[in-house]
Amino acid sequence: MTHDLRLRAAELADIEPVRAIERASASRFLGTDRAWLADEEPADVEMLCERVGEGGLLVACDGDVPVAFVMFREVEGCGYVEQVDVLPSHERRGIGVRLIEAVADLAPERGWAALTLSTFKDVPFNAPYYRRLGFEDVEVLTPGMAEIRAEHEARGLDESTRVFMRREV
């Protein structure tokens, strides 16, 4: 792991670096049947500004440079993890785990019973990864999850290839 790595709440100045991390991280999908994800636009600036204001965006910095982030919000009394991305140059060092655990650490003070997320079922760095972190597949979607699924479908995601997951905190 990078020795000088520290996690902190994102600031407005981190928005463009976060978008660059998202773009670079999406390159993991090149050469797969989801290569189109590498061409998608990253999270829009307005939404990222909202997450910064709500305390729903953490960055991992190597020195002073953001190299990874986790974006999250409250959905139905749980911390819904919207996205975790790590620069390819910093992958496989446990940074994503540290970011997820940082969100879990916020759960008690925010009154969250669990962390939830939606991810690809069969991509090794998606659902299988989260299962190793203690997340379990959700069989019956809550109304909030159904709303998120509808948002994904509106964006063109094939929800038959995705799964919602939950981990108690």
CB-neighbour burial class of residue 54 (10 A; exposed 0-12, middle 13-18, buried 19+): exposed
As a whole number of angstroms, the distance between CA 131 and CA 153 comes to 24
Mean pLDDT, range 62-78, rounded to an integer: 96
Q: Check residue 126 and give its pLDDT.
A: 85
Cβ-Cβ contacts under 8 Å for 72 (sequence gap 6 or more):
51, 56, 57, 79, 80, 81, 82, 103, 115
Per the prediction, the chain carries an average pLDDT of 90
Chain segment 124-161, per-residue pLDDT in tens: 778 999 999 999 999 999 999 999 999 989 988 888 88
Pick from 39-48, 65-74, 81-90, 107-116: least confident: 39-48
pLDDT interval class at 2 (50, 70, 90):
very low
Dihedral sign of CA atoms 7, 102, 71, 42 in order: positive
CATH of 5-168 among 1.20.1050.10, 3.90.870.10, 2.60.120.10, 3.40.630.30:
3.40.630.30
Write down the domain spans for the chain: 5-168
In this structure, the number of other CB atoms found within 10 A of the CB of residue 156 comes to 8
pTM (predicted TM-score):
0.90
